[in-house]
């Protein structure tokens, strides 16, 4: 099988972790006799510095010509809290989502037995937690118009906008995942306050009738944030709007013990993007200490969702699990033991796959 991917390392530790993930993809393709074709492209602060645009047209063309995108991270201290910056790296991420039609972000939240001790929650609360957060990506307050500031700069405003079509698309996707899992869906909103949330609930309640085999529940976002901490094992599939999803998925990721362990997939109408959930971690740039496992696990998601290669995805996860058991890990999860370099962890996993 021929696999064609775009590789967008991005900023900070992005190039280091993506390099290891790409080597993993090469090892799997060699093992299973696939042909892997890839092209690298600029995005984020690196792209601004080079061509003045965080998501250049050439990068978009390469993504559109690919079956999947392997993405690192976006963000640079040079642009943080800099009011004089005319364009920001994060605008590249929003542009990529919009132009590729990346309407759904999929974040599996699973625990690793060897890392449960690093969770801020008690072992009995998190051991066995396994749920999926589905976040709508192209609507809501991040994209709503109008937005801006008054002429005197004393007032700022953003507008949250959703259409029935956008909500139906993401709710149906969530039901599809629930049917493949434990058949429970939690729709998260703030319908007691927000008009857009009331539309979300109205649409979900209409679609609920089409999926009688799935248990559907509705939960206000503040309650959901509380329930993730109190009893995360109660959730199976959670679906919500853009900003709520941004916050809840970060909260959920922390309970597993390490941000460096969780992958994500952004499902699109043109192609799909696979990336770790953590940021660019500029303090670690060039030090060869960043955890590559979330990006390597994103490769597993890529094999699974972009190419329907289940055995290949399983092989990647098995290699990651083996590295955890053997304690071949970076400093963030070394727990006082030997801390391996980013490149050393990556090489161990590729050697395991070969």
The single residue of 11, 79, 189, 190 carrying the catalytic annotation is 190
CB 312 within 8 A of CB 303: yes
**Is 190 an active-site residue?**
yes
> What CA–CA distance (Å, rounded) separates 199 from 219?
14
Q: Which residues pair with 268 in a beta bridge?
A: 102
The single residue of 246, 288, 341, 347 carrying the catalytic annotation is 246
**Is 189 an active-site residue?**
no
**Is 152 an active-site residue?**
no
The single residue of 142, 162, 211, 340 carrying the catalytic annotation is 142
The single residue of 80, 127, 222, 308 carrying the catalytic annotation is 222
Please tell me whether residue 240 adopts helix, strand or coil conformation: strand
- Long-range (24+ apart) CB contacts under 8 A made by 95-98 are 95/54, 95/55, 96/43, 96/55, 96/60, 96/63, 96/273, 97/137, 97/138, 97/266, 98/138, 98/143
**Is 130 an active-site residue?**
no
Phi, psi for residue 255 in degrees, rounded to 5: -70, -20
CA angle, 255 then 257 then 259, to 5°: 90
Residue 221, both tokens: 């976002």
Which residue bears the tokens 């696999």?
A: 3
Q: Which of 299, 292, 309, 300 is nearest to 347 (CA)?
A: 292
H or E element in which residue 179 lies: helix 164-180
**Is 180 an active-site residue?**
no
The single residue of 49, 67, 250, 288 carrying the catalytic annotation is 250
As a three-state string, the secondary structure of 25-44 is HHHHHHHHCCEEEEEECCCC
Helices within 181-327 (DSSP H only): 195-208, 221-230, 242-254, 293-301, 310-325
Catalytic residue set: 142, 190, 222, 246, 250
């Amino acid at each position: 099988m021929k696999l064609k991917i775009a590789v967008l390392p991005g900023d900070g530790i992005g190039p280091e972790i993506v390099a290891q993930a790409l080597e993993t993809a090469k090892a799997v393709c060699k093992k299973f006799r696939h042909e892997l074709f890839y092209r690298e492209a600029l995005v984020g602060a690196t792209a601004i510095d080079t061509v003045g645009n965080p998501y250049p047209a050439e990068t978009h063309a390469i993504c559109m010509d690919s079956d999947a995108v392997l993405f690192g991270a976006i963000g640079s201290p040079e642009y943080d809290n800099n009011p004089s910056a005319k364009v920001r790296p994060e605008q590249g991420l929003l542009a990529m989502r919009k132009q590729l039609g990346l309407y759904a972000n999929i974040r599996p939240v699973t625990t690793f037995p060897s890392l449960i001790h690093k969770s801020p929650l008690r072992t009995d609360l998190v051991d066995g937690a396994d749920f999926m957060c589905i976040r709508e990506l192209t609507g809501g307050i991040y994209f709503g118009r109008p937005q801006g500031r008054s002429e005197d700069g004393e007032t700022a405003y953003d507008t949250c906008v959703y259409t029935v079509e956008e909500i139906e698309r993401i709710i149906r996707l969530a039901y599809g995942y629930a049917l493949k899992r434990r058949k429970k869906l939690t729709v998260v909103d703030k319908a007691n306050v927000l008009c857009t949330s009331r539309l979300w609930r109205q649409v979900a309640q209409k679609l609920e009738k089409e999926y009688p085999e799935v248990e559907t529940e509705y939960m206000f976002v503040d309650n959901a944030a509380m329930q993730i901490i109190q009893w995360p094992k109660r959730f199976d599939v959670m679906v919500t709007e853009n900003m709520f999803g941004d916050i809840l998925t970060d909260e959920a990721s922390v309970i597993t013990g390490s941000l460096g362990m969780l992958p994500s997939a952004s499902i699109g109408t043109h192609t799909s993007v696979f990336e770790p959930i953590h940021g660019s971690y500029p303090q670690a740039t060039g030090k060869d200490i960043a955890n590559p496992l979330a990006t390597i696990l994103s490769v597993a998601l890529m094999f699974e969702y972009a190419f329907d290669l289940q055995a290949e995805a399983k092989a990647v996860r098995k290699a990651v699990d083996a590295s955890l058991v053997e304690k071949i890990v970076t400093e963030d999860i070394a727990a006082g033991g030997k801390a391996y370099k980013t490149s050393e962890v990556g090489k161990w996993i590729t050697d395991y796959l070969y």
